[in-house]
Amino acid sequence: MRKTAWLMLAFSILLSTHAYAQGKMVDYKDKNIPLKGYYAKASASTGKAPGIIIIHQWLGITSHEKQAADQLAALGYDVLAADIYGNDAPASQADAGKAAGKYKSDYALYQQRIQAALDELIRLGADPDKIVIMGYCFGGTGALEAARGGLKVRGVVSIHGGLGKDATRPATPVTAKVLVLHGADDPFVSQKEVEGFQQEMRDSKADWQLICYSDAVHAFTQPEAGNDKSKGAAYNARAAERSWEHLKLFLKEVFQ
C-alpha cells in the first residue's frame, strides 16, 4: 500500500510539473566562458517580477531544476536555472565529484559564476532589488557561497546542500536571509558540519533558519535518486513536499 501511494504521489507531481512547462534554454557568459541556462518567465506578471536563481546539483542542469523553474514561474517569479560548468559539464558521477570539487575549493570562482547568472537574470527583466538564490546539493553550497560573498540578493536557500566552510576563512557579515532545508539523516553532512554552520551564521550576524526533516537523507527532493536510503541519497516524498512549502513561505517573506 505504501509503495502504491508513493507511486501515485510521484505520478501526480510529474503531471503537475509537466503542466507548468514553459521555459527555454538561454545563452549567456561569464567573461569569455559560454554558459547555457534554463529561463522561465513569470506567468501573468505585470512590471518587473521578483527573480530566482536555481543552482544545479553536481551533474549540471537536469529536468529537476527545469521543473522547479517552471513551477516557480507559475507562482509569479522570473527564474533562471544557472549553468556553473559551461562546456565542462560532467558525463559521470565520478566526473561530477571532480567538477563540483573545483568550485567548492575555489569559492571565489564559484561566486563569480553565480554573479554571471544574477546579471543575466536581471538583464532578462527580473527586479534587481528582489532576487533569491537557491540550489540543490552542490547548488545548495553555492547558494550559501552567494551569501558569504555578499552578492546583492534578498535571500538564499540551500536544499540538501553542503554546509561546511574552510575554518581558515573568516566569518563575514551575511545580509541575505538564509534558509537551509536539510535531511536529518544525511550521511554526507556531519553533525560537526551542521554545528559549524550554525556558529558561522551566529558569527556573521545572519537572519537564518535551519529546518531538518526526519527520515530524510541526501537528495530527498529528487525522485531520480530512488528510495533506497542505505545508499545515502534517496527521494522522500514527505520531506520534498514540506521543503517546497517552506520554500514558498520563505519567498513570500523576503519579497514582501
In a domain, 71, yes or no: yes
Note the pLDDT of residue 223: 96
Query: How far from 185 is each of 13, 43, 229, CA to CA, in Å?
Result: 24, 37, 9
In a domain, 17, yes or no: no
In a domain, 3, yes or no: no
In a domain, 193, yes or no: yes
Any idea what the CATH number is for the domain that residue 225 is in? 3.40.50.1820
Query: How far from 109 is each of 33, 123, 136, 220, CA to CA, in Å?
Result: 12, 21, 18, 28
Do 206 and 174 touch, CB atoms closer than 8 A?
Answer: yes
In a domain, 104, yes or no: yes
In a domain, 12, yes or no: no
The mean pLDDT value for 81-110 works out to: 94
Domain that holds residue 63: 25-255
pLDDT in tens, 187-245: 999 999 999 999 999 999 999 999 999 999 999 999 999 999 999 999 999 999 999 99
Note the pLDDT of residue 47: 82
Beta-bridge partners for 51: 78, 131
- What string of DSSP letters covers 164-217? ---TTSPP----SEEEEEEETT-TTS-HHHHHHHHHHHHHTT--EEEEEETT--
Contacts of 121 (CB under 8 A, 6+ apart): 39, 51, 53, 78, 79, 80, 131
Name the pLDDT band for 1 (thresholds 50, 70, 90): very low
How far apart CA 114 and CA 55 sit, in angstroms, is 8
In a domain, 123, yes or no: yes
Q: Domain count for the chain, please give it.
A: 1
In a domain, 146, yes or no: yes
